A and B are shown apart, each in its own frame.
Chain A
Amino acid sequence: MGAVTAPTATASAAAPSPAQAAVSVRGLWKVFGPGARSVPTDPAARALSRRELLEQRGCTAAVRDVGFDVAPGEVFVVMGLSGSGKSTLVRCLTRLVEPTAGQVLLEGEDLLAADDRRLRELRRHSFAMVFQHFGLLPHRRVLDNVSYGLEIAGTGKAQRRRRAQEVVDLVGLSGYEAAYPHQLSGGMQQRVGLARALAGDPGLLFLDEPFSALDPLIRREMQNEVVRLHREVGTTMVFVTHDLREALRLGDRILIMRDGRPVQCAPGDELLGAPADDYVRDFVREVPRAGVLTLRWIMRPPAADDPLDGPELGPDVVVREATRAVLAADRPVKVVADGRLLGIVGHDEILSIVADAEQVG
């Protein structure tokens, strides 16, 4: 039985310690309205729901006591429905919105202590952001849009053109350097947004619902693009989305937010396998599970009469990939890690997931 609780342990192992994290957030609050400053420190106000806070204090708490750590090179997804505070959260991390309380460390540096000059330095060289509505300059050509950040940072013309051309090639916009944004499709415009963010060679990339304004087909293509870029460039990413499938496709770990509060922070398979509450369970219900869940989440402890001489598989094998092996074997498959038996998976376990997936379509 002890083996079943193991996932929690592995999940916390994936989270880095604050000291080595690319981003480390503790007790972050953003409250809008009169007397906002007093809310995070007032125990009575902290206890109120968002609606009560609005009725009684006249202020809106967009982000409430959020904390997490992002490992270097990780793709960390913040997910929630509209109004859950995810966009405000990511703006607090770049100080486009000034947090009301809390701590944000970027590679160990206290972001909230940075003065205007230092903040600009960080924005120019350390991190960059991609926006839902692109935010391109309509009066500049693609190449000039991409090099805009370098221009602001005072890079010489020849150098910034060279660099801009590099990233334009990297995001697959070659040939469109001289086009104006309005001449491009939405997907192409967001490629420009991506290129602009990458031009300064930031160690950290914030993406605020970058593909929500795009058609589904283009969205998938752009998600692949992000996967590819992440593989090639290795930038740490904080990715905000309201689309769970997108979150599962891209995220190493996913933070689910509701009404400004974090609900659960875990890898995708754990969200499906061990949802923290009904809200998360509801959320993940519509997702095809076979592609996300691993054997760890569907195995059961062996019973006394189970034959234990079947084939062996690791606990992190995805259900969809294990299906053929499990169904082909006439005995239950053993889930083994480091030579230790964690549990077994039989036809019933596999079929319950695969059949479920077929229903969902």
Chain B
Amino acid sequence: MAVAAPPAPSPPAPSPATSSAVGRRRPRRALLAVGVVGAWVLLWVLLQGRDTLFLSPATLTPLHRRLNELADAVSAGRDSSPVFLYGVDLVRAGLDAFVGGVQDLLARPSGGRPVPAVGWLGVVAVATWLATALGNLRVGALTAAGLVLLGLQGLWTESMDTLALTLSAVALCLLIGVPLGVWAGLSPRVHRLLTPVLDFLQTMPTFVYLAPLTLFFLIGPASATVATLLYALPPVVRLTAHGVRSVPPSVVEASTSLGATGPQRLRGVLLPMSTRTIALGVNQTIMAALSMVTVAALIDAPGLGRTVLKALQTLDVGVAFNAGLAIVVLAIVLDRTTTAASERAQTRPDRSRRSARLRRPALLVGAVAAGAAVLLSRTYLWAAQFPSVVGGTDIGIGDDVARTADSVTGLVQEHLSGITGGLKDAVTLFLLNPFEELLTGSPWYVVLTALVCLSALAGGARAAVTTAVGLALVIGTGLWFDAMTTLASTVLATLVVMALGLVVGVWMGRSRRADAVLRPLLDAGQTLPAFVYLVPFLALFGASRFTAITAAVVYAAPVAIKIVADGIRSVPATTVEAATALGSTRWQVVRAVQLPMAGRSLALAANQGVIFVLSMVVVGGLVGAGALGYDVVAGFSQGELYGKGLAAGAAIVLLGSVLDRVTQAAARRAGPDAHAA
């Protein structure tokens, strides 16, 4: 009894003191941050260029050499080690056979014939029928048009390779992910165990999955499939678990009270009632898989990604644009179809309507027609290989697209180079260079101390420890200098993303009309694979860090804007009304009510923004952004840099984890609890 007593008397007395302390804490923290940055700049001026841990691109540290030796040892053991013979190699052979089978079906010559098992006409017909059956007639038409467009672009085979790889990876994802998600949905313990793993898989940039996998699965479709599997698995697991968990307990209880067994409950209640959420997860998984499959071109995965990559490396904007466009078309078709399918899963069919009554017979007829098309495509060459010439006229548009893109690029560079070049130079000269110089030109201990202090101010003690440990490990990778260069680009791009997120997000949060107009655009932007974003900016700005930063901003802005908009919108209407009734101006409502109450959303937007930005900045290594991204890419292409590439991958993961942890800690601080205290 006496033990319980102490806490009781304490609250009343010091409450005025605490409330004033809370009131002052925010400005004081900001002031301290300014102080830290000021001291940093001062030390930079004094100690510039000392202990920067610079490492030239071709230099290796002992760690990199050891990683090279390790890679060599792994390759050497490939033919003798039981781990490979009976483990990894079997998995690889199984995956190769599976993916190869799908490729035989869609993309590559098979069965002793010079064409795939199913020709373009068959694929278009079956895909259209599937889209209509799972979704509706509109997405069916979209699918038909999209696929034919791919053919007209002269990229049929490449598209089918990408599709085959994506579909195989997605099939595996569903095979593993849905049961795993159901399990996590039923067992809180499994959920707790899985969540950090899924978080980790999702925060890692697509890029860094690839190198370690090639060590075991070699380059090619098997590695690409495993990488895609890992990257695309989290959404379907998460959303399946979420769907299962959000089935109303009353329904589950009712079915138990009727004597349902576990499997009966799963089949009769849990799965049917979470179909829509699971379908949403499938949609996200498909989009993630498509994104990863294109990036996997770096490890020699076939398909559109390879075309884009080759064109990016030769700075051939026209070809890159054509192939990029094909990826976009594929993304739109897959996204629209799966979205329509998930909407269909939600709405109950109303059999009284005539169109609904006609649906079943129409689908039957369609199935027969699709079957016929498949047969045709196996019999006639014109139905098997996408024709480029019909009746003597060239119907291909790929070259036209490429030529147009080239000429537009030429025109832009000719006439707008003053603007684009000026913008690029101004940002590079006045923002990027000084900031990068501050990070890379200061002694490492100054930067480390400053960053740890800033994390402490933003996210508290634990965030500071995470930063200290993470950055110490970065030093261990031997790539501190490159990591700081990457960090500079990342932070700068994230600041721009947050500025955009605030302005556009607040606007969307306050205006229904702005939301209605912008949201579909943002949704579309989010479904595109990272790779595609590089192409237009490469055309505008050439190969540079600035290109990577702009692409990163455009890539990350949609998610940040949406989170901010949702945060603003979720501020209770009554609070806004009360503030308005007190005579606040619109600006006062935004500043004093909506922004502070959406504080957590802002921090979450920063968290997601920084993860997206980092992932894109790294990919920017392909178009002259250098630093860690370049180290990774170089590791793929040059054997002696393989170990360095692995180390760069590790450094990226470390940077990502630190940024993720710190922004999440900041988000928790900004949470509603902190306000209430």
Contacts and interface: CB of A to CB of B under 8 A. Distances in A.
A180 B348 CA distance: 9
B136 interface: no
A200 B259 CA distance: 11
B261 interface: yes
B250 A120 contact: no
Interface in A145-165: 148-149, 151-153
A216 B20 CA distance: 50
A152 B272 contact: no
B254 interface: yes
Interface of B is mostly: helix
A171 B23 CA distance: 62
B254 A135 contact: yes
Interface string B252-267: 1111111111001000
Given A148-B268, A180-B348, A153 B259 contact: yes
A161 B331 CA distance: 46
A124 interface: yes
B137 interface: no
A78 interface: no
A39 interface: no
Given A137-B268, A137-B269, A180-B348, A96 B258 contact: no
Contacts, number: 70
Nearest to A178: B351
A128 B257 contact: yes
Contacts of A180: 348
A258 interface: no
B253 A137 contact: no
Contact of B272 (A123, A136, A139, A151): A139
Given A135-B248, A138-B273, A139-B272, A152 B254 contact: no
A152 B261 CA distance: 8
For A123, A138, A152, the residue with the greatest tally of chain B CB atoms inside 10 Å of its CB is A152
B265 to A, nearest CB: 9
Contact of A128 (B258, B260, B264): B258
A125 B257 CA distance: 11
A129 B254 contact: yes
Contacts of A149: 258-259
Contacts of B269: 137
A120 B263 CA distance: 13
B251 interface: yes
A120 B259 contact: yes
A152 B260 contact: yes
Contact of B250 (A122, A133, A151): A133
B4 A55 contact: yes
For B253, B254, B255, the residue with the greatest tally of chain A CB atoms inside 10 Å of its CB is B254
Contacts of A64: none
A121 interface: yes
Contact of B251 (A135, A151, A153): A135
Contact of B273 (A119, A129, A134, A139): A139
A139 B248 CA distance: 13
Contacts of A128: 257-258
A134 B273 CA distance: 15
A123 B257 CA distance: 6
B258 A196 contact: yes
Interface string B292-335: 00000000000000000000000000000000000000000000
Contacts of B264: 152
A134 B254 CA distance: 8
A111 to B, nearest CB: 13
Contacts of A193: 254
B250 A152 contact: no
A228 to B, nearest CB: 23
A194 B252 CA distance: 17
Contacts of B273: 137-139
A200 B254 CA distance: 14
A139 B258 CA distance: 18
A94 interface: yes
A76 interface: no
A128 B248 CA distance: 19
B70 to A, nearest CB: 49
A68 interface: no
Contacts of B260: 120, 152
Nearest to A133: B250
B326 to A, nearest CB: 38
B257 A139 contact: no
A239 interface: no
Interface string A91-121: 0001010000000000000000000000111
Interface string B228-239: 000000000000
A211 interface: no
Contacts of A123: 256-259
A185 B617 CA distance: 55
B346 to A, nearest CB: 10
A303 B546 CA distance: 108
B349 to A, nearest CB: 10
Given A134-B250, A137-B273, A148 B255 contact: yes
Contacts of B250: 131-135
Contacts of B256: 96, 123
Q: Lowest 6 A-B CB distances belong to which pairs? A: A135-B254, A123-B259, A124-B259, A149-B258, A135-B250, A133-B250
15 contacts: A119-B259, A123-B256, A131-B250, A131-B253, A132-B250, A133-B248, A134-B254, A135-B251, A135-B254, A135-B255, A137-B268, A139-B272, A151-B268, A152-B261, A193-B254
Interface of B: 4, 248, 250-261, 264, 268-269, 272-273, 275, 348
Given A120-B259, A137-B255, A152-B260, 14 more contacts: A94-B257, A123-B256, A124-B259, A131-B250, A131-B254, A133-B250, A135-B252, A135-B254, A138-B273, A148-B268, A151-B268, A152-B258, A152-B261, A180-B348
